[in-house]
Amino acid sequence: MASRLRVGVISDTHGLVRTEALDALRGADVIVHAGDVGGPHVLRELGELAPVLAVRGNVDVEPWARALPERRRLELGGAHVLLLHDRAMVGDPPGANGVAVVVFGHSHEPLAERREGVLWFNPGSAGPRRFSHPVSIGFLDVEGGRVRHRHEFIIH
> Tens of pLDDT along the chain (156 residues)?
446 899 999 999 999 999 999 999 999 999 999 999 999 999 999 999 999 999 999 999 999 999 999 999 999 999 999 999 999 999 888 988 899 999 999 999 999 999 999 999 999 999 998 878 899 999 999 998 899 999 999 986
What per-residue confidence (pLDDT) applies to 1?
A: 46
Q: 59, 56, 68, 31: which is closest to 46 by C-alpha? A: 31
Helix, strand, or coil (residue 148): strand
Per the structure, the complete domain to which residue 85 belongs is given by 4-155
Q: How many domains does the chain have?
A: 1
Asked if 94 and 103 count as a contact pair (C-beta separation under 8 A), the reply is no
- CATH number of the domain at 139, please: 3.60.21.10
Asked if 73 and 98 count as a contact pair (C-beta separation under 8 A), the reply is no
Asked if 81 and 100 count as a contact pair (C-beta separation under 8 A), the reply is yes
- Prediction pTM value: 0.95
